[in-house]
Amino acid sequence: MPSAFDLGAPLSRLKASVPAVNIKENEKNYLLELAVPGLKKEDSNISYENEHLVIASERKTEAQEEKDQVTRREFHYASFQRSFFLPEEKADIDNINAQYKDG
């Protein structure tokens, strides 16, 4: 008998490893917003390499003790890397900054 939680095979294989991004621009700067639920600040890295702003995360797996039996697991956390072309003539490399907001 099918479970009430059986949403179908295609949906169960859906795993987003690369976060979506919003990019805003005005005459003075660019603003990139990434939604990365479950990401800890210490697992993220931002760098500027070869005219690219690189945002990366390496998800560190921790052993979890489960008290209840898991009927369905869809939460998936994976490492990712996004890179955005940002030519030096349009970027003030010395003033790139980042903010981390939990929630």
90 φ, ψ to 5°? -105, 0
**13 pLDDT exceeds 70?**
no
Selection from 56, 59, 63 nearest residue 82 by Cα? 56
Are the CB atoms for 79 and 58 separated by under 8 Å?
yes
In the predicted structure, residue 92 carries a pLDDT above the cut 90: no
* Beta bridge partner(s), residue 13: none
Q: Where are the domains of the chain?
A: 40-61+69-91
* Amino acid occupying residue 53: L
- Residue 61 binned pLDDT confidence (cut-offs 50, 70, 90): low
Is it the case that residue 6 has pLDDT exceeding 80?
no
